[in-house]
Structure 1
């Protein structure tokens, strides 16, 4: 693939994301991917760029962070031959779960994963739509590592660099398609 083709795709993705000021509270610039999902070419470009990156990495688990990681994770998992594991908010998964508390840009929350969904020796990709402060991705990494798996990389459509979430990940690799406004 030529660099120019990738630039066109990245531009299409970036221009399809709507920014909504003061949502869900004053001072937050919400990065709305619903407009990306309404653009079939931008949506396809997003999935394709992730699949191209991870196709040959021997990833056995794609872990999607609720809720928008559920949009991108399953098609990526299917395309690369991996299982999809949902990482959910409390009391959404039946059966035995492990949980991890974390901080958000504007509050706190908890994430859960089914016991046994991820196995020791699994090689995992964690996917979400956005990295802000990094709390959500750090909680996801901790859940997967507690199950004995290796997190190879985290991937997000959007990064808000001013919130320094990448720094919170430490030496964990992070792949991002676009920088948010």
Structure 2
């Protein structure tokens, strides 16, 4: 998802993955699974199959860990600021964990076109010999929107085809 933020120094955008559910709602879903599993486990253990209890606990722990990991990955965000003379890219979750600050005239956009229909295009910001991937979590529609947004800011987009290493279909 691409969201424009207000900024006095220039134009600022926040790039985030699409989230279909909030953290409190995800916890409620997991608690619903716990309640349903508990009813089944109590019934099975009263029938004499007490060995179900540890496996149900392991299953709920695994599902909870998977939900937590997915929710954590969906909290990633990137903020890109286009100032009159600088371009600043910040990546992180709750606060900026990594930051790049480049002179605006030196920044280029590199678009790795998808080598296979199942893969997506990869957008990179290039400056001073470094390539920094930009918003790997965007869906293809948002990725195309990001490329057109970067073009509208006056950055030249260079396209290149990338090769697949490994088995081809």
TM-score, reference length from structure 2: 0.25
Q: Larger radius of gyration, structure 1 or 2?
A: 2
Asked which structure has the greater RCO (Cα within 8 Å, sep 6+), the reply is 2
